């Protein structure tokens, strides 16, 4: 990358990562966005990754090693999930309290949906579904307790 392009790449990355809904963006998505700009066109993925890793405003997130297995990568790709590294602006990394609030809200939404499904199973007399949903609700309850205990 030429020195002149570093500024363009930095500004394009900052601008894009500030405005996307999901703050964690696959590098491949960011790379496509960069290559739409004439000043950044032709930059290679590894160059972008190396640049972002060294920059204090960005955090590159790699998938756990267990997700890098060829079968797992193929499975993720078939589901439309990019298994490559991702990037987030440091300023958009949620705090522990924000994480706790988000997780709690998602668990509450899931618990509500499961409770409605459990009521429908009871109404229809589907004992197997009712029991399975009860088991899932118990696991969700245990998960909520573990989250509360970890001090988030």
**Mind listing the pLDDT tens digit for each residue in 25-37?**
999 999 999 999 9
Q: What are phi and psi of 93, to 5 degrees?
A: -70, 125
Higher pLDDT, 68 or 147: 147
Picking from 59, 76, 93, the residue at the C-terminal end of a domain is 93
125 shares a domain with 52 = no
68 shares a domain with 105 = no
Higher pLDDT, 136 or 147: 136
145 shares a domain with 83 = no
In 3D space, the residue among 45, 42, 39, 46 whose CA is nearest the CA of residue 6 turns out to be 39
Distance, in Å, from the CA atom of 18 to the CA atom of 98, rounded to the nearest integer, reads 18
Tally of domains within the chain: 2
Distance, in Å, from the CA atom of 152 to the CA atom of 150, rounded to the nearest integer, reads 6
| Domain span at 28 | 3-93
Distance, in Å, from the CA atom of 33 to the CA atom of 15, rounded to the nearest integer, reads 11
85 shares a domain with 10 = yes
pLDDT at 2 over 80: no
102 shares a domain with 89 = no
Q: Which residues of 12-32 are buried (b: 16+ CB within 10 A; e: fewer)?
A: bbeebbeeeeeeebbbebbbe
33 shares a domain with 75 = yes
89 shares a domain with 102 = no
113 shares a domain with 54 = no
pLDDT at 134 over 60: yes
Distance, in Å, from the CA atom of 120 to the CA atom of 78, rounded to the nearest integer, reads 33
Q: Are 32 and 65 in contact (CB under 8 A)?
A: no
Does the pTM exceed 0.85?
no
How many DSSP H helices and E strands does the chain contain? 6, 3
Strand, coil or helix: 26: strand
Higher pLDDT, 68 or 47: 47
């Amino acid at each position: 990358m030429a020195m002149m392009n570093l500024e363009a790449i930095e500004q394009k990355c900052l601008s894009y990562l500030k405005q996307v809904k999901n703050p964690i963006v696959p590098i491949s998505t960011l790379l496509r966005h960069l290559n739409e700009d004439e000043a950044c066109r032709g930059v290679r993925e590894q160059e972008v990754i190396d640049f972002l890793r060294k920059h204090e405003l960005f955090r590159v997130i790699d998938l756990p090693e267990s997700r890098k297995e060829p079968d797992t990568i193929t499975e993720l790709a078939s589901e439309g999930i990019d298994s490559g590294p991702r990037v987030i602006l440091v300023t958009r990394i949620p705090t522990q309290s924000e994480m706790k609030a988000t997780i709690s809200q998602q668990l509450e939404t899931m618990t509500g949906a499961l409770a409605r499904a459990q009521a429908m199973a009871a109404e229809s007399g589907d004992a197997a579904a009712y029991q399975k949903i009860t088991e899932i609700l118990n696991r969700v309850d245990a998960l909520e307790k573990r989250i509360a205990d970890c001090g988030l």
